[in-house]
Amino acid sequence: MAIDFYFDFASPYGFIAGMQIDAIERPVGWRPFLLGAVYKTFGQSPLEHPLKRKYVIEVDAPRMARRIGLELKVPADFPAHALPPARAFYWIEQQDPARAVAFATAVYRKYWLEGSATSDAAIAADAAASVGFDRDAVLAGMQDASTKSRLIHENEDAIRKGVFGSPFFLVDGEPFWGSDRIALLAQR
């Protein structure tokens, strides 16, 4: 059964899920979206109160990352949007679907292991270059009207399917929310 994997590049638990999902021997459709667009629809903001944000960013996400051998570093501009990589992902996917996942993994590592800014288009372009794309072509591709409308469409599609957090998984219509549900996906 294929897994649809919805995530925001600015989401620490999305990162933690992304670093583990390949271990599930199942086709995975990577679907970056903007949590901000979802929250705008539902009238709620991510990591809404300071205590919860502090817990997630300073305690729990680093702890869960360490459990899979990774040392978390928070993006320099956190909490900022991750519009550039989401657009770059869909532009790349149109050229070469296989390399889109390699790009997602590379850029995720830049944000959450190196602390690079998620809202900085140059970082996303660097990550695309690291998987073989021309930097300027990617930067231009992100600004294509078709790329922009594609991401808007993906956000709307995620909302229509009931996605309300990152990461979020859909397996044959069954929803799973959170990186803690990875073990269940494998058994599904």
For its own copies, the closer CB: 135 or 188: 188
**Which residue's CB is nearer to its own copies, number 103 or number 169?**
169
Please choose, out of 23-31, 113-121, 142-150, 175-183, the segment that lies near its own copies by the rule CB under 8 A.
175-183
Closer CB to its own copies, residue 115 or residue 175?
175
Cβ atoms within 10 A of the Cβ of 178, count?
A: 15
The Cα–Cα gap between 130 and 92 comes to 13
Stretch that binds its own copies, among 86-94, 123-131, 146-154, 178-186 (CB under 8 A): 178-186
> Interhelix angle for 35-42 vs 145-160, to 10°?
50
Is residue 62 within the footprint of its own copies (CB under 8 A)? no
Q: Where do runs of H (alpha helix) occur along 96-165?
A: 97-113, 121-130, 135-142, 145-160
Residue (139 or 171) nearer to its own copies, CB: 171
Site for its own copies contains 162 (CB under 8 A): yes
Binding of its own copies at residue 164 (CB under 8 A)? yes
Q: Does 134 bind its own copies (CB under 8 A)?
A: no
Report the distance separating Cα 7 and Cα 165, nearest Å.
8
Residue 178 interacts with its own copies (CB under 8 A)? yes
Out of 51, 69, 98, 172, the residue judged to bind its own copies by CB under 8 A: 51
Task: Note whether 66 binds its own copies by CB under 8 A.
Answer: no
Which string of DSSP letters, residue by residue, matches 48-68? Answer: -SHHHHHIIIIIIHHHHHHHT
Omega prior to 12 cis, within 30 of 0: no
Residue 137, Cβ density class (10 Å: 0-12 exposed, 13-18 middle, ≥19 buried): middle
Q: What are the beta bridge partners of residue 29?
A: 4
Number of residues engaging its own copies in binding (CB under 8 A): 22
Which residues bind to its own copies, rule: CB under 8 A?
Answer: 42-44, 48-49, 51-52, 55, 59-60, 63, 162, 164-165, 174-178, 180-181, 184
